[in-house]
Amino acid sequence: MLAYYLSLLNSTDPEDDLLLTRLYEEHGALAVHVAKGILHDRNAAEDIAHDAFVYMAEHFAGLDRSSLENLRAYLLRCVVSRAINAYHMRRRESSYDEYVELQETDLGIRSGSAEDVMLDAERMNDMMEAVKALPAVNRIVLELHYEGWPSTKIAELMGTTDETARKRLERGRKKLWEELHKE
């Protein structure tokens, strides 16, 4: 795959070839691991990592290439974002029955009348829209937190400190609460 990524590289600088090669060799497995942690599917995780590398190769000239760590951080942000999008896409594609069942088991919503189920679905939709409206940094931290990721891992993925990740989570929760309760 590395040869394919190098062929997409939009740069004539041989240093860029070396940087992309090092990025792939040193952090390619990590990219797959991060995506697999979100999607719980090895094949989908490999696709996500591949998409992230293709995107980076095609846009390499516009990236901060001052250090391998900057590229690693950008790669992981691309992977996390794409994996979360794929996760949500997969959930949206499930049938209505699976959606109701998922709400009942994962979210503790009890089945009741059709009206109750519709109200719960409507509340869930409002919450998902409010989450989507959050700034990306807060949205990603919230989504990872509610997927069960500890703040230390979230901080590592986002290239920040644990304290920063927890503060972003706190701010995201506050913004979400404000959005859901404004009328």
Q: Is 73 a domain residue?
A: yes
Q: Which residues contact 131 (CB under 8 A, 6 or more apart)?
A: 139, 142, 143, 176
| In a domain? residue 88 | yes
| Residue 4, domain member (yes or no) | yes
- Number of compact structural domains in the chain: 1
The token duo for 125 is: 């939709």
d(CA 54, CA 13): 18
Residue 36 lies in a domain: yes
Boundaries of domain holding 17: 1-93
Residue 42 lies in a domain: yes
Q: Is residue 61 part of a domain?
A: yes
Number of helices (H), then strands (E), belonging to the chain: the values are: 9, 0
Sequential pLDDT tens for the chain (183 residues): 777 777 777 777 788 888 888 989 999 999 999 899 888 889 999 999 999 999 988 888 888 888 888 899 899 999 999 998 888 877 766 544 454 554 455 444 445 556 665 666 677 777 777 888 888 888 888 888 877 788 888 888 888 899 998 998 899 888 888 887 775
